Structure 1
Amino acid sequence: MSSTSDAADVADASRADAVRPDAVRGDAVRAAAESRAIVAAGLGGLSGLIGGLIVFAGRLVGLADGALPVGSFAALVAGIVGVPVFAITYVRADSRRGRGREVVRRSRLRRAIDVIGLTLTASAMVMLLIAALFSIAQLAFRSLEIGAFAAAVLTAGAVAASTYALSLLASDITTQRVATLLALFLAAGTLSSMLSAEDELWWQNNFSALGMRGVSGSYSFNVTVILSGLVLITLSGYLTRDLRVRSIRYAVPARGVGIVRTLLVVVGVAFMGVGAVPVDVSQLLHNMFSVCLIIAFVVLIAACPTLIAGLPRAFVAASAVFVAGMVLIVLLWVPFGYYNLTAVELLAVVVVFTWLVLFTRNVSTGQMPDGDARLDA
């Protein structure tokens, strides 16, 4: 018994030794990413402090009210500093992953699209978040005005925090994080456009009214939609990689991966078209992009359980519920007339992006598929 126990202990120790180098390497990578994030935060905070002292010199400023308040300036600096920080960190991390066992090889054009789309989206996201936080603070401290030094310190803190977060995010981009970033960015950008719309009754028409020329907030709305399309194209590449790694790891067929990727690219291009062609520029072309977007998404949701083998049964059932929900949403508009087109668009976007986030989580390479798939021993 003693020799058997000793042999088992030796075997366990051998397995631990075999795993330890990868674990140590992973810890080293995370420690290096944390160090770079701290350095980036320090440089970003210093930029915000110096810029704030120059811009706010000799005057009192509000948190979110007045000409160039602290919130607007901090968001601007965070966006400017965040672009190179995110892009450089992402390219470094992507190159490191590329030297590993990556299943999907991307062209230089696809890599450029990924870098541009994710960088602009992440930077815009922190800008919207900073502006929103300062607006809330202004509501809490009404009529508050602060001096140049205090304004510069607040700017430095906001820029440092956002730069730190962007650096960490870019150092470990995954499919789930891309999908979550996309959903949050689209929600934040759309909400910002809704709040800044001069026409209080814009919702009586449809969401496209937010993107018409001459409408307050139209620029941010259209840019949000265009960037969302770019990120969807990037997401298609990440999903393709996860699906193919999953098919190899668990010995499940990968026959529908190309179709899923094509549908997501079509949706991304259609998103970009909706933002690039406002309804008042060409209603026909704008509507064509919108219809293409909806059809491609519905086909993706409905066909995904058939295209991708081994999806969890709970997700397959949820997909059927999502499709039924989309049908119900349309029926409540036409023929029942329960609400208008704006409500249809809003509810459809919520359903679609909720499903997309769930889909990316369920095809993560770390999850064991079930269903009818047979796994090799």
Structure 2
Amino acid sequence: MTAAGSPPTPAAAAPSTTPPTPPTVRGESEAIVFAVSAGGLGALYGLLIGLLTEDLPMSGDVSFGTLAAAGSGVIAALAAGWGYWRSRHAPGQEWRRALAPWAFTVNTISVVIAHTVLAVLATLVIYLVLSRGFIGLGVITFWSVVLMTVTLGLTAYLVSLSVSRMTTQRMSSLLMAFIVIGTLTAMVTTPDPVWWQIHFSHLGTFWALSSAVFNGTLVAGGLLVTTFAVYIAADMRALVARRKLAYERSPRIVSTLFVLMGFMLAGVGLVPVNVNEPIHNLSASGMALVYVGLLAAGPRILRGMPTFYFLSTWAFLASTVVTVVLFATGYFGLTALEIIVFALIFGWIAVFIRFLGVTGQTE
């Protein structure tokens, strides 16, 4: 066991050397208990809403959907916090107990925030879709109870399972889902239907729920990327210890750059373009530069990873360069540039994590 303030040893930091933990009876049982408990609370919550309101719309600023999203957020926060804290004793997660208390706390907070925001956004989207399918339908007391029971119970179940076996690959999937759902939600709820004619960051400039969703997604996504860096460092330390990665300093360098990328992403959301354009642009361009730096330095600091990873890296780098050239020549506008580079960054992260998980394996 290492000291509380020291980094985990390679032996302790071994999620990538441990096969994925299969579902356990305990994990599934706890998820069901959470779901039933949350469903019971949802029934009471739905009954209260039904008695105090009359035929709430499915979606809107004041609607059943927003109340359901608030309830889902609370349940997700409780389930994520409790489940993630307990899962540090699970096989393959022992390295988390060697983290400094502040690092473990930050990781827990970021996982809780990510699951909470994702639950809220998913609930908002679901009820937005339902409102389009049942136009003009108000939610009476009976359906308020039923829908809230299902919504909160399902939220508790899915979040409990998600945090019970958190790995680098699962964290990557969580990040991708979080960013995609948050961004799409902001797009479809923005008060300006022609936002795309200005720029991508324009989505975060309104005094509206859509801008809160957009900026909140970026801030929470940035925090999640910093937590992501801890998992990456642990995986890479294990690979260095097994001599599958040649450069011994690669875990520290790559994880530090991911933390910097996370701070930059959060900065884009914390400082919308209409609040302070220079700081906003500095954060956005800084994130892009870190991404390009990771691509360019890959052959040296990630030597030992599969050949196809490096081929993919050069493809991402070439795509980024082509995108910038097309923008500079006026082929498309700023919105397209921002969206494409944004997609390339997170696409590369997903590819990097998948290849990191199989580095050192036989063909």
Q: Hey, what's the Cα distance between the residues in 1 that align with 2:278 and 2:323? A: 23
CA separation of 1:208/1:58 partners in 2, compared to 1, >3 Å: closer, same or farther? Answer: closer
Among 281, 296, 300, the alignment partner of 2:294 is: 300
Among 332, 343, 352, the alignment partner of 2:345 is: 352
Report Cα offsets for 1:81-130 as digits up to 9, x if no partner: 11011101101112446883x39942222211111111111121122112
**How many pairs does the alignment contain?**
344
TM-score of the pair, normalised by structure 2: 0.88
CA separation of 1:80/1:318 partners in 2, compared to 1, >3 Å: closer, same or farther? Answer: same
CA separation of 1:214/1:192 partners in 2, compared to 1, >3 Å: closer, same or farther? Answer: same
Q: Hey, what's the Cα distance between the residues in 2 that align with 1:87 and 1:236? A: 19
Q: Hey, what's the Cα distance between the residues in 1 that align with 2:135 and 2:229? A: 45
1:275 shift after superposition: 1.2
- Confirm whether residue 50 of structure 1 aligns to residue 55 of structure 2: no
Counterpart code for 2:129: I
Among 94, 103, 115, the alignment partner of 1:110 is: 103
Q: Hey, what's the Cα distance between the residues in 2 that align with 1:145 and 1:328? A: 50
1:186 shift after superposition: 1.2
Q: Hey, what's the Cα distance between the residues in 2 that align with 1:340 and 1:352? A: 19
Alignment of 1:1-80 (within 5 A): 30-57=24-51, 60-62=54-56, 64-65=58-59, 68-80=62-74
CA separation of 1:286/1:244 partners in 2, compared to 1, >3 Å: closer, same or farther? Answer: same
1:277 shift after superposition: 1.4
Q: Mean Cα displacement is larger for which, 249-258 or 192-201?
A: 249-258
Q: Hey, what's the Cα distance between the residues in 1 that align with 2:209 and 2:119? A: 21
Residue of structure 2 in register with 1:3 after alignment: none
**Does the 8 Å contact 2:69/2:121 carry over to 1?**
yes
1:305 shift after superposition: 3.2
**Does the 8 Å contact 2:257/2:290 carry over to 1?**
yes
- Confirm whether residue 142 of structure 1 aligns to residue 144 of structure 2: no
Helix, strand or coil at the partner of 1:310: coil
Q: Hey, what's the Cα distance between the residues in 2 that align with 1:97 and 1:224? A: 31
Residue of structure 2 in register with 1:258 after alignment: 252
CA separation of 1:67/1:229 partners in 2, compared to 1, >3 Å: closer, same or farther? Answer: closer
1:33 shift after superposition: 0.7
CA separation of 1:202/1:287 partners in 2, compared to 1, >3 Å: closer, same or farther? Answer: same
CA separation of 1:45/1:104 partners in 2, compared to 1, >3 Å: closer, same or farther? Answer: closer
Residue of structure 2 in register with 1:281 after alignment: 275
CA separation of 1:293/1:252 partners in 2, compared to 1, >3 Å: closer, same or farther? Answer: closer
What are structure 2's unaligned runs of at least 5 residues?
1-17
CA separation of 1:67/1:202 partners in 2, compared to 1, >3 Å: closer, same or farther? Answer: closer
Q: Hey, what's the Cα distance between the residues in 1 that align with 2:218 and 2:45? A: 31
Q: Hey, what's the Cα distance between the residues in 2 that align with 1:42 and 1:82? A: 14
- Confirm whether residue 338 of structure 1 aligns to residue 331 of structure 2: yes
Q: Hey, what's the Cα distance between the residues in 1 that align with 2:71 and 2:206? A: 27
Among 318, 321, 324, the alignment partner of 1:324 is: 318
**Does the 8 Å contact 2:225/2:259 carry over to 1?**
yes
Counterpart code for 2:214: F
What are structure 1's unaligned runs of at least 5 residues?
1-21, 372-377
CA separation of 1:252/1:290 partners in 2, compared to 1, >3 Å: closer, same or farther? Answer: closer
Q: Hey, what's the Cα distance between the residues in 2 that align with 1:126 and 1:216? A: 16
CA separation of 1:337/1:271 partners in 2, compared to 1, >3 Å: closer, same or farther? Answer: same
Q: Hey, what's the Cα distance between the residues in 2 that align with 1:134 and 1:285? A: 36
- Confirm whether residue 221 of structure 1 aligns to residue 214 of structure 2: yes
- Confirm whether residue 159 of structure 1 aligns to residue 152 of structure 2: yes
Counterpart code for 2:155: S
Q: Hey, what's the Cα distance between the residues in 1 that align with 2:196 and 2:132? A: 25
CA separation of 1:98/1:113 partners in 2, compared to 1, >3 Å: closer, same or farther? Answer: farther
Among 192, 195, 200, the alignment partner of 1:199 is: 192
Helix, strand or coil at the partner of 1:130: helix
CA separation of 1:91/1:329 partners in 2, compared to 1, >3 Å: closer, same or farther? Answer: same
Q: Runs ≥4 in structure 1, deviation > 4 angstroms?
A: 95-99
Report Cα offsets for 1:232-277 as digits up to 9, x if no partner: 1000110111111122235432332211111111111111111111
CA separation of 1:75/1:216 partners in 2, compared to 1, >3 Å: closer, same or farther? Answer: closer
Residue of structure 2 in register with 1:5 after alignment: none
Larger Rg: 1
**Does the 8 Å contact 1:61/1:147 carry over to 2?**
yes
Q: Mean Cα displacement is larger for which, 255-264 or 171-180?
A: 255-264
